[in-house]
C-alpha cells in the first residue's frame, strides 16, 4: 500500500486542482480523500506538488529502433512522466510478420540486432510481456509492414486477392490486441498507394473502433491536399484519425496554418487529431532528404541512384538548401565516429560542399544514417499545440546511452518542455494541458482505466514539483523516485480489448 499525502490533484478531466491524499493498493487507486491517520508501506510527501495521471505518448519509435528489446527500462520516457506509449507508426510495425523479417524498419535500425521469434501480433505481444518493459506499450499495425510482405519491393497496386488477404491479416491483428492501423504515405513504398486501398483497410479499422494514424503523403508543397485526403477518409469512413507529427516545416508555414484551419473547420465534428512536439528539429532517416523521384525503390536502389554519375548531378541540384549546422548526424551505422558531428563539419573535413557531403554520408552508411534536421518553425509549432485537435508526442525512441547515437532534447523532454511552455506563456490553463497529455489520448485509444485520477482506475501517476518530474508510478509501482529511475519493469503490454 502506498499513500501519496497532501498533493494538489489534477485529475486529467480539465477540472481545477484540489488538495487530497491518494491511496494506492496493488495496481489501482484505492481511495482519494483525507487520510491523516492512514498507515502505509510507503508514504510519499507530496506537499507543494501536483499529482497528475501518467502521460500518454501517442507516437513513439522505440519499436522502430528495437530499443523495446535492447533498452526495456525505457528510461527516457519515464523520466519525463510518460507511463504509456503507442508504437507501430508511419506504416511500420514489428508485427504481423508473414515471413519473420523486419524489412520495414531498416530505415531506423539494424534488424539483425535481435532474433525474431514471432509472426502474429499475439505472439509479438506475448514476447514483450515475458521480457518486461518500464512503460505500458500498445501497437498499431503498419501498412508498409504488411504490404511489403505481400508483394516485396514492387511499387504497384494490390490485386483484389491481395487486398482480401491484407484485410484478413488486419482483422486478425486487431482481434489480437492491436489498437489500429498506420500508414507512411510520405515514404517511397507508399507514396503512390491509391486512396481506395487505404479506405478499404480503414473501414476494417473503423469496425473495430481502432485508430488510423497517418504520416501524410506530402508534408511540403502538397500538405493541404494531403490533409484534405485525410479529412475525406475520416469523414467517409468514420474512423478515429491522427495525423502524425504535423509540423510547420520551414518554407511551408502558410500551408501549415491553412491546414490547421481546415482541420478546425472541416474536421470540427470528426474524431480527428494531430500530434506534434515543441521543438525545431526532426529525427529522420537520411534518405528522406532525397528528391521524390530518387526515393523510388528500396535502400539499395536509392544508393545506386546516388552513385550513378548523371543521376548524382541531378540529385545535387534538387537537395534542400542547408546551413552548416542544420543537420546533425544522430546515428551512422559502420561509422560511429561521425555521430554528433554536423553536416558542415563532416563536409568540411572531406573538402566537399554541404550537398556533396550529404551524398557521401549516404554512401558510407549505406543509406542507413539517421539525422537530426533543423527544419521546423518552432514558434508556430508551439502555437499549434494550443489547439483542441493537437496531441503532444515525442515521435521518438528511448535509446541506450552509447557513443553510437545522439539523443536530442526532443527524445528526453518533450512532455516536460511542453508543460514549461504552458506555464511560462499561459497558452492554456495548466489543468487543460494535463488533460491533453492524459485523458484525451486515453479516450482516443480506448484506455478507460488510464488517463484519469479516480478511484478504481489504474495507478499510473506523476508527481510534479516546480515543473520537474519527481515521482512516477506505473501500475501502482514506484518507477521514478526523486527524479531517479528505480530498477523495476512495471509496465504492461496493452491490448485493445
| Grid coordinates belonging to 481 | 523516485
Say what angle helices 299-307 and 354-364 make with each other, to 10 degrees: 130
Pairing of strands 136-139, 82-87: parallel
Q: Which of 87, 85, 105 is nearest to 97 (CA)?
A: 105
- Coil, helix or strand for 253? helix
495: phi > 0 → left, psi -120 to 50 → alpha, else beta; which?
beta
Q: What is the pLDDT of residues 139-151, one digit of tens each?
A: 999 999 999 999 9
The length of the chain is 497
Query: Quick check: 343 and 327 in contact, CB under 8 A?
Result: yes
The β-bridge partners of 249 are 376
SS (H, E, C) 85-97: EEECCCCCCCCCC
Using alpha carbons, select from 405, 361, 387, 327 the residue that is nearest to residue 109.
405
What percent of the chain lies above the pLDDT cut of 70? Answer: 99
Q: Is pLDDT at 100 greater than 80 in this prediction?
A: no
Which residues have C-beta within 8 Å of that of residue 281, sequence separation ≥ 6?
A: 372, 373, 374, 375, 376, 408, 410
**What are the cell numbers at 399?**
535509446
Please check whether residue 462 is in contact with residue 53, taking contact to mean a CB–CB distance below 8 angstroms. yes
Is the pLDDT assigned to residue 267 strictly greater than 60? yes
Please report how the helices 354-364 and 309-318 are oriented relative to each other, as an axis angle in degrees rounded to 10.
130
* Residues 225 and 193 sit within 8 Å (Cβ to Cβ): no
Q: What is the pLDDT of residues 180-233, one digit of tens each?
A: 999 999 987 888 999 999 999 999 999 999 999 999 999 999 999 999 999 999
pTM of the predicted protein model: 0.94
Beta pairing partners, 7: 20
Residue 32 CA to residue 9 CA, distance in Å, equals 10
Reported as a single tens digit per residue, the pLDDT across 66-81 is 999 999 999 999 999 9
pLDDT digits (tens, 9 = 90+) for 379-432: 999 999 999 999 999 999 998 766 566 777 888 999 999 999 999 999 999 999
Reported as half-sphere exposure (CB side, CA atoms, 13 A), residue 47 has a value of 2
Nine cell digits for residue 350: 572531406
Tell which residue, 151, 144, 154, has the closest CA to residue 94. 144
Q: What angle do CA 474, 480, 481 make, to 5 degrees?
A: 130
pLDDT at 137 over 60: yes
Is 425 exposed, middle or buried (CB count within 10 Å of its CB: 0-12, 13-18, 19+)? exposed
Helix (H) or strand (E) holding 397: none
C-alpha radius of gyration, the chain, whole number: 22
Residue 69 carries which DSSP code? Answer: H
Does residue 478 have a pLDDT over 60? yes
* Torsion, Cα of 211, 217, 223, 225 (10° steps): -90
Residue found by looking up cell 559502420 in the block: 334
Give the mean pLDDT of the chain.
94
**What integer pLDDT is reported at residue 401 of this predicted model?**
64
Q: What is the pLDDT of residue 299?
A: 85
Q: Are 179 and 211 in contact (CB under 8 A)?
A: yes
Question: What structural domains does the chain harbor?
Answer: 2-53+449-485 (2.30.40.10), 55-280+376-407 (3.20.20.140), 285-372 (no CATH)
Listed in sequence order, the residues at least 6 apart from 484 whose beta carbon sits closer than 8 Å to its beta carbon are none
Q: Is the pLDDT of residue 86 over 60?
A: yes
Instruction: Report residue 204: phi and psi, to 5°.
Output: -65, -45
Angstrom distance (rounded) from CA 313 to CA 493: 49
d(CA 199, CA 126): 30
What is the SS3 assignment for 170?
helix
pLDDT value of residue 188: 78
Nearest 5°: phi and psi at 481? -125, 125
C-alpha cell at 302: 536509392
Question: CA 490, 495, 497 angle in degrees (round to 5)?
Answer: 130
Query: pLDDT class for 173, splitting at 50, 70, 90?
Result: very high
Which contacts (CB < 8 Å, 24+ apart) does range 163-166 have? 163/197, 163/200, 166/201
Find the helix packing angle between 223-237 and 195-207, rounded to 10°. 40
Q: How far apart are CA 354 and CA 321, in angstroms?
A: 9
Task: Please answer whether residues 414 and 394 qualify as being in contact, where contact means their C-beta atoms are separated by less than 8 angstroms.
Answer: yes
Amino acid at each position: 500500500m502506498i499513500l501519496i499525502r497532501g498533493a494538489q490533484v489534477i485529475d486529467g478531466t480539465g477540472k481545477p486542482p484540489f488538495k487530497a491524499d491518494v491511496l494506492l493498493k496493488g495496481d489501482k487507486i484505492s481511495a482519494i480523500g483525507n487520510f491523516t491517520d492512514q498507515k502505509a508501506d510507503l508514504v510519499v510527501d507530496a506537499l507543494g506538488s501536483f499529482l497528475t495521471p501518467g502521460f500518454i505518448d501517442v507516437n513513439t519509435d522505440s519499436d522502430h529502433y528495437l530499443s523495446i528489446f535492447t533498452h526495456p527500462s525505457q528510461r527516457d520516457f519515464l523520466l519525463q512522466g510518460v507511463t504509456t506509449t503507442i508504437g507501430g507508426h508511419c506504416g511500420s510495425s514489428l508485427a504481423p510478420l508473414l515471413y519473420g523479417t523486419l524489412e520495414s524498419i531498416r530505415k531506423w535500425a539494424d534488424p539483425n540486432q535481435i532474433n525474431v521469434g514471432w509472426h502474429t501480433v499475439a505472439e509479438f505481444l506475448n514476447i514483450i510481456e515475458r521480457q518486461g518493459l518500464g512503460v505500458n506499450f500498445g501497437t498499431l499495425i503498419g501498412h508498409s509492414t504488411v504490404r511489403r510482405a505481400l508483394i516485396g519491393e514492387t511499387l504497384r497496386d494490390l490485386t483484389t486477392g491481395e487486398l482480401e488477404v491484407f484485410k484478413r491479416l488486419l482483422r486478425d491483428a486487431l482481434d489480437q490486441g492491436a489498437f489500429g492501423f498506420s500508414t507512411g504515405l510520405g515514404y517511397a513504398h507508399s507514396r503512390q498507394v491509391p486512396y481506395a486501398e487505404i479506405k478499404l483497410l480503414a473501414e476494417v479499422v473503423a469496425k473495430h473502433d481502432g485508430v488510423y494514424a497517418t504520416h501524410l503523403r506530402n508534408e511540403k508543397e502538397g500538405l493541404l491536399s494531403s490533409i484534405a485526403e485525410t479529412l475525406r477518409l475520416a469523414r467517409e469512413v468514420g474512423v478515429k484519425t491522427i495525423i502524425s507529427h504535423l509540423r510547420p516545416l520551414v518554407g511551408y508555414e502558410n500551408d501549415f496554418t491553412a491546414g490547421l484551419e481546415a482541420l478546425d473547420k472541416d474536421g470540427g465534428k470528426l474524431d480527428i487529431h494531430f500530434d506534434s512536439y515543441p521543438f525545431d528539429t526532426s529525427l529522420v532517416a537520411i534518405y528522406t532528404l532525397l528528391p521524390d523521384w530518387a526515393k523510388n525503390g528500396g535502400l539499395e536502389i536509392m544508393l545506386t541512384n546516388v552513385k550513378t554519375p548523371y543521376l548524382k548531378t541531378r540529385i545535387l541540384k534538387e537537395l534542400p538548401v542547408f546551413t552548416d549546422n542544420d543537420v546533425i548526424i544522430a546515428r551512422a551505422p559502420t561509422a560511429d565516429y561521425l555521430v554528433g558531428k554536423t553536416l558542415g563539419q563532416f563536409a568540411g573535413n572531406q573538402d566537399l560542399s554541404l550537398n556533396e557531403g550529404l551524398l557521401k554520408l549516404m554512401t558510407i552508411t549505406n543509406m542507413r544514417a539517421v539525422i537530426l534536421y533543423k527544419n521546423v518553425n518552432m514558434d508556430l509549432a508551439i502555437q499549434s499545440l494550443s489547439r483542441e485537435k493537437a496531441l503532444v508526442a515525442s515521435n521518438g525512441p528511448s535509446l541506450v546511452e552509447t557513443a553510437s547515437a545522439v539523443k536530442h532534447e526532443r527524445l528526453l523532454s518533450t512532455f516536460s518542455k511542453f508543460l514549461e511552455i504552458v506555464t511560462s506563456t499561459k497558452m492554456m490553463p495548466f489543468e487543460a494541458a494535463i488533460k491533453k497529455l492524459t485523458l484525451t489520448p486515453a479516450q482516443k485509444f480506448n484506455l478507460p482505466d488510464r488517463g484519469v485520477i479516480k478511484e478504481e482506475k489504474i495507478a499510473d501517476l506523476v508527481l510534479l514539483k516546480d515543473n520537474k518530474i519527481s515521482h512516477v508510478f506505473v501500475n501502482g509501482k514506484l518507477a521514478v523516485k526523486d527524479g531517479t529511475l528505480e530498477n523495476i519493469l512495471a509496465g504492461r503490454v496493452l491490448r485493445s480489448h
